[in-house]
């Protein structure tokens, strides 16, 4: 039941996220210019998972002040402890976006990031918050591998939203 709730939360959050990157893939020699490779897709999934979980927990802290704030504090601690990994993912994601969209400005990128961060999390209720708390507990218990588990789930959903390079 917990897995179903967590998977449901991720699916719900992804559906709420309308800030998808949209660019048609091209073939030939420039294929990698117009799509995310495997590592870039992993980085995008890590960034989005972090955004979505943080924003969900912020809303849960308002909905359920005691447990929600405790889970949010745990997330912030995890974020601090793994800042180098998140910075690497953000940098890789930014490099890919600049390659695919060379005419985008810093303002457009900020708007894209802000949109992902604020629109990805739905209104919360007890079930959504409980699922988020389970995620934070797993992440706290397992560290980065626990977080990567959820990022991999997000990554499997990204193929419908971002231009992922096809293997030759």
Sign of the C-alpha dihedral computed for residues 117, 95, 35 and 46 taken in this order: negative
Whether 167 is in a domain gets the answer no
The values of phi and psi at residue 65, to 5°, are -55, -40
Q: Around Cβ 40, how many Cβ atoms within 10 Å?
A: 22
> What average pLDDT score do residues 124-129 get?
94
Q: Mind listing the pLDDT tens digit for each residue in 148-157?
A: 999 999 888 8
Q: Mind listing the pLDDT tens digit for each residue in 24-55?
A: 333 333 445 678 888 999 999 999 899 889 98
Whether 106 is in a domain gets the answer yes
pTM more than 0.85: no
* pLDDT attached to residue 24: 33
Local structure of 114: helix, strand or coil: helix
* pLDDT attached to residue 30: 45
Residue 139 and residue 146 in contact, taking contact as beta carbons nearer than 8 Å: yes
Q: ∠ at Cα 81 (111, 14), nearest 5°?
A: 40
Whether 164 is in a domain gets the answer no
User: Residue 102 belongs to what domain range?
Assistant: 2-19+31-158
Residue listed under structure tokens 């809303």: 59
Whether 138 is in a domain gets the answer yes
Domain count, the chain: 1
Whether 165 is in a domain gets the answer no
Whether 24 is in a domain gets the answer no
Whether 121 is in a domain gets the answer yes
């Amino acid at each position: 039941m917990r897995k179903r709730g967590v998977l449901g939360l991720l699916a719900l959050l992804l559906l709420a996220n309308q800030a998808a990157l949209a660019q048609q893939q091209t073939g030939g020699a420039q294929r990698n210019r117009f799509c995310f490779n495997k590592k870039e897709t992993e980085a995008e999934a890590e960034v989005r998972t972090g955004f979505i979980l943080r924003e969900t927990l912020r809303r849960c802290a308002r909905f359920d002040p005691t447990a929600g704030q405790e889970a949010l504090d745990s997330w912030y601690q995890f974020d601090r402890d793994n800042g180098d990994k998140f910075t690497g993912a953000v940098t890789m994601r930014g490099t890919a976006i600049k390659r695919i969209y060379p005419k985008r400005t810093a303002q457009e990128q900020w708007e894209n990031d802000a949109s992902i961060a604020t629109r990805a999390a739905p209104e919360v209720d007890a079930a959504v918050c409980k699922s988020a708390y389970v995620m934070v507990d797993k992440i706290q218990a397992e560290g980065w591998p626990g977080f990567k588990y959820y990022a991999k789930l997000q990554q499997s959903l990204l193929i419908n939203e971002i231009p992922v390079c096809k293997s030759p």
